[in-house]
Structure 1
Amino acid sequence: MPVAEFHEVFEIGNADTPNLLNSEQFELRHRLMLEENEEYLEACRNENLVEIADALGDQLYILFGTILKHGLQHKIDEVFQEIHRSNMSKLDAEGRPIFREDGKILKSPLYFKPNISKILNRN
């Protein structure tokens, strides 16, 4: 993963096993994510596809870095698949999505929460 190389070269560090960050670390990661989200919003408002792509790439870079800082790189694919399974359970009994007025997809009675703790507790 290129972000791992960046973290090593710039002495940011990567964790090998799942862990919590201290407040200084998680506050920084959060600020970085907020900055990139704001850049995306500005690029969209300016209708600038190049800047949109740049902002999305930067968001991924920061997200991958945060995954590495938390030591979740060996678990994140499975976590993502579990979240996908959970999201698909939002369909109603006829297999249709339920939308809120603003377009947000709502949870159906068939919805189940992702079992992420099971993944994290597995060796």
Structure 2
Amino acid sequence: MNIEKVIDWFKAAKPNPTEKDKATQIGAHFEEVAEMMAALSCNSAQAEQISQEFYVCDAIDKNSDGKFVELPENWEIDLLDSLCDQIVTAIGVGYMMGFDMAGALQEVNLSNWSKFDENGNPIFNENGKIVKGENYFKPDLKKFVRSNDAPAAE
């Protein structure tokens, strides 16, 4: 499984992302951080608060109905650096935990494709976030958890 397959999913879901789509995806990223904190029995409320604060921070402008979001200029390099570091550190955490990250990522990507309807179209909520439809299946990740002593799954 490679990053290109995940990107293909996003291209199918959002071929021409708007500024609002970009902000929604950043918010979804913060939501995943909150889920990680909850999985580790940490204070996930703090991470959820960060997610909520993103939508009301001065760094983005919204009109009164919240449908238009304008991200600040000249921040792309710092964001790209941060995202790459997050990918590397996420893979590092998975490695240290003995997880089969490649296999798990492939399983999650297959699950994400199941969010599309029977015609191959993504299903969105009112905020433009891709949601689970009736064809959705939860990824079976148990088989990708292994100890550091176990051989890698093929």
Pairwise TM-score range, normalised by the shorter structure: 0.5 to 0.7
Match of 1:48 in 2: 75
Residue identity opposite 2:102 in structure 1? D
CA pair 66-46 structure 1, distance change in 2 beyond 3 A: farther
Structure 2 unaligned segments of length 5 or more: list them. 1-39, 42-46, 60-70, 147-151
Residue identity opposite 1:48 in structure 2? W
What percent identity do the matched residue pairs reach? 32
User: In 2, Cα distance between the equivalents of 1:119 and 1:69?
Assistant: 13
1:66 aligns with 2:93: yes
* SS in structure 1 of the partner of residue 82 of structure 2: helix
CA pair 63-45 structure 1, distance change in 2 beyond 3 A: farther
Residue identity opposite 2:137 in structure 1? F
Match of 1:101 among 120, 123, 126: 126
Match of 2:116 in 1: 91
CA pair 118-66 structure 1, distance change in 2 beyond 3 A: closer
Residue identity opposite 1:106 in structure 2? V
User: In 2, Cα distance between the equivalents of 1:95 and 1:61?
Assistant: 31
What is the count of residue pairs matched by the alignment? 87
Q: Normalising to structure 1: TM-score of the pair?
A: 0.56
Residue identity opposite 2:98 in structure 1? G
CA pair 83-59 structure 1, distance change in 2 beyond 3 A: same
Aligned-residue Cα RMSD (Å) equals: 3.2
Structure 1 unaligned segments of length 5 or more: list them. 1-25, 28-33
